[in-house]
Amino acid sequence: MDMPISDAAAAGQRHDHAPDFDTHSRRPQNLEAIPGWGSDLDRDKRPAVPRERRPPRLDHVHFEEMQPQEPHVTVLHSAERPGLTPIFGSPVPPSGVSGAVRRLAFGYSENDLRHWLLLLAADRVNVVEGLASDLVHGHVPRLYAETGGRAELRHNPRGAVAKAAVLAAGVALFVAWRRGRARR
């Protein structure tokens, strides 16, 4: 016989998905059935006390205050911070035009869109600087291979052909434009 849920609760039938409630106080009778029950009890009455780590992890630290790392190169940091954090990374110092754009970007707050757009622009400028540096040092970059052209041709041949067609059309338009200017 199917009863509505309210009738089943009134008849005192037990549901597996909900704990039993005292009808007067609306407080669960079997508290242990509630996941996470008891986590805010006294320490001696907590269910996880025997598994907690003793002693706590950061007792008996061998230093009072962390000695800050010394910067040997320019390290850019957020405008919200008054100084550098005690430990920081400095793999590549900012240099060239991209470094100047990065310095400009870190003059703005991190919640300012100009900060992030300038950092994106600095990344693009850094790519061009890297290509120019390769050419100056006699290394001709393999742009097709280094940008994943072979992998795209293998795994997405239609996309590779479409990109090649767009590139060819762009080159043809550029050549036609240059020839038209030369004739004038």
Return the structure tokens found at 182: 């030369």
How many domains is the chain partitioned into structurally? Answer: 3
Flag whether 103 is in a domain: yes
Residues 153 and 137 in one domain: no
Q: Using DSSP, how many helices (H) and how many strands (E) does the chain show?
A: 6, 0
Q: Specify whether 105 is located in the same domain as 130.
A: yes
Residues 23 and 50 reside in one and the same domain: yes
**Same structural domain, 122 and 149:** no
Residue 1, pLDDT score: 45
pLDDT at position 148 over 70: yes
Query: pTM for the whole thing?
Result: 0.52
Highest mean pLDDT (candidates 5-14, 26-35, 45-54): 26-35
Residues 129-139 as b or e (16 or more Cβ within 10 Å = b): beeeeeeeeee
9 and 57 inside one domain: yes
Domain containing 116: what range?
75-84+92-141
Dist CA 102 CA 23 (whole Å)? 66
**pLDDT for residue 51:** 63
